Structure 1
Amino acid sequence: MLELVERPILILCAEAETGSALADALKSFGFDSIAFQRPAALLVALAETKPQAVLLDDTGLEGGLALQELVQRLSRIGNWPLVLLSSQQTIVSQIQLLRAGVSDFISKPCDPSKLADRLDALLENNEPIPYRILIVDDSVASGHWAQKVLESSGMQAKHIQDPLEIFLWLQRYKPDLVLMDVYMPHYTGDEIARIVRQHPQYDGLPIVFLSTETRLGHQLSARRMGGEDFLVKNNDIEQLISTVSIVADRYRKLRRALTRDSLTGLLSHTHFTTRLQSELFLSTQSDRPLALAMIDIDHFKNVNDTYGHLTGDAVIKSLARLLRHCAQEPDLVGRYGGEEFCVILPDMTYLRAAQRVDEWRERFAAIYQLTSEGKFSSTFSAGVASFEQGMSVRDLIEQADQGLYRAKAAGRNQVGLAKMPSQVR
């Protein structure tokens, strides 16, 4: 029996060689992929595993089980992206297949790099991360009402009564939106919003005011103090859900465009260090362990010189995808520069973090890049450091860099420690 990996990409292609080549190409970008020649074999596999996505090559699917019937059957089995690889579908047939359950169409011959990018986008949309909403309201009843309404719509919500705790929870909860009561004892919502806006990292964070105030002039005045919108308490549930989700979605998209590296989709250097600063703060507050890994692709210049910069970009993207999938959260990974990456490992002891990074190293070495001259694999070296009370972001990064230097000096393709095992308490 075929052994299925967890959450693979399943491919149906009547031509064995083409299907195998496509599976190998996707594996080079960090996707576990399995190819099948017959619809029956694919259906058996779907009974045993839940895939990330299913790719259908329409070549050879004209006979037997009709393509549209197969798509309908697959769409009834599970809710995952269903991508059709085709070069002959008309607009009418595409519409029919969309109605049957196809998520996307990709023209053949398909570029593996573009296919991997398309899959990334589809998978992100298919498994969206719930919006995180921070509710600041001195009223227990009102705050719990808003929390219950938002959670019932699939969002995550946290209610705090003391507005002076807002910065603690902005750091800890990392909300996509703040739902702020206007009238609270001692401090008003617009005053708290003005203080929040004084901090550059929260300048763009959306704040929606929530109050019993119905006078338009007062609502507009509050919005001028830094609010995105104004909602009346306990009024319209659908309006609350719609407004919060629309504003939070807009903020996420804008934040992604401003904070992400364009090639890999990882946090850029500047925004990664900001996230690291936040994680150090949380580690200090909770007295929990935290480690940092600095990762560098070995002999990357030789890859560019030998195979070209497009292949070099593919190597970078395959490592970025692997790290993003393996990390506790995608935003704990950053592209530090060129072929260098950083990963934050919260709640992980020093030596356990080194073991985890070494597992990633082995997985990356097993990924093959396909070229016109054949295939090759790359490796990486890494340095691991652990956070100690009193360390700054710069201190921790320098410690991880020392570990990386040791790994390179010892021959590369290994994990170096900032401290030797005898120094670890």
Structure 2
Amino acid sequence: MEKYEYLQLLNRNIQKQMNLWLNKEDKIRNSDLYSFLYSIVNSALTIGFEKGERITERLISQLKESNKTEWNHKELQFFLFPLYSAFDDGGATKKGTEEEISIRERTKKLILVIDDDRVYAQFLKEQLEKEPSFIVKTMNLNCVISSYDNIEPDCFIIDIHMKQQNGFDILQIIKEKVEYKCVPIIIISNDYSKKTRLLSYKLGADDFIEKPLEMDEFIIRINRQLDRKEIIDELIMTDELTGVYNRRFLKKSYDRLIRNLKRKKEYFSMAIIDIDNFKNINDLFGHLEGDTVLENLSTVMKSYVRDNDIIIRYGGEEFILLFPNTKLQDAKIMIEKILEQYSQIKFGHCHNEFTCTFSAGVLEVSDIEMDLNTNLSKMDDALYYAKNNGKNQVKDVQRGSHLTGKKLNIGIINDNTVMRKMFVSLMKNMYYKKFDLDIQAFKNDAQFLEAGWHLREEPYLIILNEIKPQMEKLEVVQEIKKSADIDNFTIVKLTARNDEENTTKVLPLDVDNNIIKPFKQLELKYRLDQLLRFSESDQLILVI
């Protein structure tokens, strides 16, 4: 499952609960709403959906401050509106919108016009598209919310006064969408009063232009905003030392290649490169010489890759390369040529010269597996295989390859359907190459205990996932202590809190690791890998 699929599933659960409430004649109790929001924030934390977690936490804070004990239907819909905009999966309009916009040439700037006057919106589209560098799309708010992350607009134009919707509400919602992406918002309006202008700027508008529009001036002001965005993007997306893209650019580039794969069946390849013994270079020759090593590698890579290939400094001495429309073997040959050239460069001075090599993992991305984190994990496995087998080499990832035949039993305990499905998929993605997996999901502790897994004389790895403050979910550990040898168990707790009271409740139960949500999937994998590495048994059980 990709992150978007988790969001779809979570959105359906939100809609299902709302329909249940709205079809009831009774008012909704405050306690029920409180439990519902805690369930949502827990799911958002776990899948790494920071915006959804932030909005839901805000609603929980408002709920705590409220004196209400019950909510009628209208009050509930208004209160939960921010939740809809955060988790909305877009329905049937999403696919068509993405496909229509994704076929545009990426050299053009995409401008989204939000106006419920269709005649005027179409007029704007026709006028603006006379500018060769513009492509204009007229959309409603729901379509923007559901498609934003995939269509990647460069600018918004919003009419602040619309008949069917409040333009200021739309401005606020759009601003939250573009908060960290520096996408300019231009307001147009017949009302040029100071009050309207000040409120627009306060809510996040970058420019305010009075109607009727002087089209030549309008286009100049749009271009100024786009130029400013391009400069900011360049600063944000480029690694200062090497001149290649930084890791912020990875997801954006990867998602674009995935859209081409889905639409045109264009497979692509990617590689991860890690300089061998880089820490020793820094320790022996200094960080300035380490910088020179990094700069030279980026120079060699740039000299070999094609114009549409993408080089990203992933972190430290690691680089990721994306090769559009490229087969695995061709990408591997390219990396081997880069390695050969790079290993001939002499660094240092006079009698203290040295050369560098790197290890690499190469993967071809197909429609069999398109999730970014999964494919990064696969490449990491190939990279570390190369590292552990002499370094200075390129290891490719073959489809269906397995590095070991060890058995891993995974039991998942969680009362949240989204969380169970998400963790089943996550564990499969993490360990399908390293283990023969047997994954089972349980709705609650009782179901798990009745299955009798914990009674076997084997080491167990248990992950406790905290749902909300009043549900510490430690009963299963108490039962294990009664019926089995606690020394056989390694316990990890996932929690949204990092407070002393919470820690002291858990420490007496021999918790070996405490992971604070939200956490990155690679962080979770690293923690679990460390625990699995020290296990003496080929059979382990994960309980989440």
> TM-score with structure 2 length normalisation?
0.45
- Is the alpha carbon distance of 1:303 and 1:202 closer, same or farther for their aligned partners in structure 2, counting shifts above 3 Å? closer
1:33-66 Cα deviation digits (max 9, x unpaired): xxxxxxxxxxxxxxxxxxxxxxxxxxxxxxxxxx
Residues 275-305 of structure 1 show CA distances to partners (whole Å, capped at 9, x for unaligned) of 3663476356535423321111123234334
Name 1:63's counterpart in structure 2. none
**Aligned amino acid, residue 407 of structure 1:** A
Distance 2:138 2:392 in 1: 51
Which structure 2 residues correspond to residues 291-310 of structure 1 after superposition, within 5 A? 291-310=269-288
Identity %: 25
Contact 1:405 / 1:416 at 8 angstroms: preserved in 2? no
CA distance in 2, matches of 1:183, 1:371: 68
Instruction: Look up the equivalent residue of 1:397 and give its one-letter code.
Output: L
**1:245 corresponding residue in structure 2:** 223
Residue 364, structure 1, aligned to residue 346, structure 2: no
| 1:159 matches 2:136 | yes
8 Å contact kept, 2:112–2:139: no
Contact kept? 2:258, 2:370, Cα under 8 Å: no
1:145 is the counterpart of 2:122: no
Q: How does 1:258-407 map to 2 (within 5 A)?
A: 258-269=236-247, 271-272=248-249, 274-275=251-252, 278-279=255-256, 282-283=259-260, 285-286=262-263, 287-323=265-301, 326=305, 328=307, 332-369=310-347, 371-373=349-351, 377-387=355-365, 388-389=367-368, 391-407=370-386
CA distance in structure 1 between the partners assigned to 2:147 and 2:334 by the alignment = 29
Aligned letter for 1:158?
A: I
1:324-346 CA distance string (max 9 Å, x none): 5636568x433222211112333
**Which SS does the other structure have where 1:227 is aligned?**
coil
Greater C-alpha radius of gyration: 2
Describe how 1:1-400 pairs up with structure 2 within 5 A: 132-136=109-113, 138=118, 139-149=121-131, 151=132, 156-163=133-140, 164-166=142-144, 170-172=148-150, 174-182=152-160, 186=164, 190-199=168-177, 202=180, 204-211=182-189, 214-232=192-210, 235-269=213-247, 271-272=248-249, 274-275=251-252, 278-279=255-256, 282-283=259-260, 285-286=262-263, 287-323=265-301, 326=305, 328=307, 332-369=310-347, 371-373=349-351, 377-387=355-365, 388-389=367-368, 391-400=370-379
Q: Deviations over 1:141-195 (max 9, x none)?
A: 311212323x3xxxx3221122344367654554443344546675565544433
Find the aligned partners of 1:335 and 1:260 in 2 and give their Cα distance: 9
CA distance in 2, matches of 1:372, 1:300: 20
Gaps of 5+ in 1: 1-128
Classify 1:346/1:220 alpha carbon distance in 2 versus 1 (closer, same or farther; 3 Å). Answer: farther
Q: Using the alignment, how far apart are the partners of 2:122 and 2:349 within structure 1?
A: 62
Tell me the residue number matched to 1:415: 394
Q: Secondary structure at the match of 2:176?
A: coil
Alignment match, 1:8: none
**RMSD of equivalent CA atoms:** 3.8
**Alignment CA distance shift 1:394-1:209 (3 Å):** same
Which position in structure 2 is the counterpart of 1:25? none
For the structure 1 residues 298 and 167, does the alpha-carbon distance in structure 2 shift closer, same or farther, using more than 3 Å as the test? farther
Structure 1 residue 312: Cα displacement:
1.4
Q: Do the aligned residues in 1 keep the contact of 2:269 with 2:324 (CA within 8 Å)?
A: yes
342 and 174 in structure 1: CA distance in 2 versus 1, 3 angstrom threshold: same
CA contact (8 A) 1:264 1:316 kept: yes
**Structure 2: tracts of 5 or more residues without a match:** 1-105, 403-544
CA distance in 2 between counterparts of 1:411 and 1:305 reads 21
- Asked if the contact 2:271–2:322 (Cα under 8 Å) also holds between the matched residues in 1, the reply is yes
Q: Give the 3 Å change call, closer, same or farther, for CA 392–142 of structure 1 in structure 2.
A: same
Which aligned segments of 4 or more residues in structure 1 are displaced greater than 6 angstroms? 420-423
SS at match of 2:322: strand
How far 1:313 sits from its partner (Å)? 0.5
Please state whether the residue corresponding to 2:242 is helix, strand or coil.
coil
Q: Deviations over 1:3-39 (max 9, x none)?
A: xxxxxxxxxxxxxxxxxxxxxxxxxxxxxxxxxxxxx
User: Where does residue 49 of structure 1 map in the other structure?
Assistant: none
Q: Retained in 2: the 8 A contact 1:196–1:202?
A: no
Contact 1:327 1:333 in 2 (8 A): no
Distance 1:231 1:376, change over 3 A: farther
Distance 1:409 1:180 in 2: 56
Separation in 2, partners of 1:304, 1:182 = 56
Q: 2 CA distance for matches of 1:187 and 1:368?
A: 65
Mark the CA change 1:277 to 1:267 in structure 2 (over 3 Å): closer, same or farther. same
Q: How has the CA–CA distance of structure 1 residues 389 and 210 changed in structure 2, closer, same or farther, with 3 Å as cutoff? A: farther
CA distance in 2, matches of 1:212, 1:334: 46
How many Å separate the matches in 1 of 2:166 and 2:351? 67
Structure 1 pair 307–134 and aligned structure 2 pair: CA distance change class (3 A): same
* Residue 135 to residue 198, structure 1, CA distance change in 2 (3 Å): closer
- d(CA) in 2 for partners of 1:206 and 1:279? 21
Q: Distance in 2 between matches of 1:366 and 1:192?
A: 58
Call closer, same or farther: CA 1:268–1:418 in 2, change over 3 Å.
same
| Structure 2 counterpart of 1:339, one-letter code | E
Report what 2:60 is aligned to.
none
Go from structure 1 to structure 2 and tell me whether the alpha carbon gap of 1:328 and 1:177 turns closer, same or farther (over 3 Å shift): farther
